[in-house]
Amino acid sequence: MMIDDAAVRLEALGNPTRLKIYRSLVRAGHSGMAVGKLQASLDLAGSTLSHHLKALVIVGLVAQERQGTTLICRANYEMMRGLVDFLVAECCVDACECAPAEAARS
Partner DNA sequence: ACGGTATTTCCAGAATTATGGAAATAATGT
Partner DNA sequence: ACATTATTTCCATAATTCTGGAAATACCGT
| Contacting positions for DNA (CB under 7 A) | 11, 15, 17-18, 34-37, 39, 44-55, 64, 66, 68-71
Q: What whole-number distance in Å separates Cα of residue 8 and Cα of residue 12? A: 6
Q: What whole-number distance in Å separates Cα of residue 42 and Cα of residue 95? A: 39
Q: Which stretch binds its own copies (CB under 8 A): 26-34, 38-46, 49-57, 65-73?
A: 26-34
Binding of its own copies at residue 3 (CB under 8 A)? yes
Q: What whole-number distance in Å separates Cα of residue 87 and Cα of residue 1? A: 10
Cα angle: 77, vertex 66, 72; to 5 degrees: 45
CB of 104 to DNA, least distance (A): 26
Contact 19, 1 (CB under 8 A): no
Binding of its own copies at residue 63 (CB under 8 A)? no
Q: Among DNA, its own copies, none, what binds residue 58 when CB lies within 5 to 8 Å by partner kind?
A: none
The residue among 47 and 106 lying less far from DNA, judged by its C-beta, is 47
